[in-house]
Amino acid sequence: MDKAIQDIAKIELHCHLDGSTSVELIRQLAKEQDIDINEEKLFVDSSCDSLDAYLQCFEEILKVLQTKDSLQRAVVDVAQQAARDNIKYIEIRFAPLFHMDQGLTLTEILEAVEVGVQEALHTLDIQVNLLICAMRQHDEATNQALFDFIQQRDSKAVCGLDFAGPEVGFPTTAIEGAATYGLEQGFNMTLHAGECGCAQNVVEAIKLGSHRIGHGVAINQDLEGLKFVKEHDALLEICPKSNIQTQAITSVHQLNIPYLIQEDIPFLINTDNRTVTQTSLNEEYSLLLHHQLMTFEQIQYINQRAIKYTFLTDEEQQQLKFKMQS
């Protein structure tokens, strides 16, 4: 890895806990829990033909993430990987409702990941927060109940909400009620949108009040759509290798990054799922440099600018700005 990439202080805003738990930890948890894991199902490659195929990997990983101990260790594990990429701030997202198969309560799940966050903060040179994922395919009542629980718990580690899951069949309009409810509760929100070829989902997500868009790549070639993104000051959370694997794009050139930079449209590069995609943030930037889509100076610029789009308080953003420059 080019040392210059490593030297740049970075931010990551789109990283899934389950999809980024390392193979080494998954293997160790499977051994401890006496669970058979098919390691070939933990990741995808160029043969992946859709988002649905990509999402099947999570079923295998989730088998070992059903205990408090495994959740705590997974948070630390992902934070360690991020720290190796010289990431100074990361928002790790996860769906609590997918970790209840062995009887954990929502309270126990939140306690476990909060302990993991605290351990990461005390042992690594990185700041960590959590995003809670609601799911597009879940009904409105289920997602609202999840938001109520998070609101009542008032966790210092949770900084916002996300909507993940399949876009096909569950467009942004289908989750409008639950998303609006979350925003009315005072939560920061990012939405997965535009990962399956529908630019309108990105526009609708921003109209709903989402501050950031997970992926959003369907809009990257739509100049009017990008103008809308810029006018509403929403940040696109772009995940290049993942977007290629899910067939959201066929080439990194479709991300239209030089145009985004030229027009100063907010975006940040992310890993999405480090293990499923078999990537790191340094590797994502290396790919873009290889295709001459960005310069080192531009990488530094977008990471500095991304501080504004973190779900941190103004004071915390100032502290992070100082940390990124030191």
Q: CA nearest 237: which of 276, 205, 200, 275?
A: 205
Q: CA nearest 325: which of 5, 8, 6?
A: 8
Among candidate residues 91, 195, 237, 284, the one labeled active-site is: 195
Q: CA nearest 245: which of 10, 37, 54?
A: 54
**Beta-bridge mates of residue 92:** 15, 130
Task: Give the span between the Cα atoms of 78 and 68, in whole angstroms.
Answer: 16
Cβ contacts of 72 within 8 Å, gap of 6 or more: 112, 113, 115, 116, 119
Helix axes 281-290, 296-305, angle to 10 degrees: 130
Is residue 59 part of the annotated active site? The answer reads no
Q: How many helices (H) and strands (E) does the chain have?
A: 17, 8
Hey, which residues are catalytic here? 195
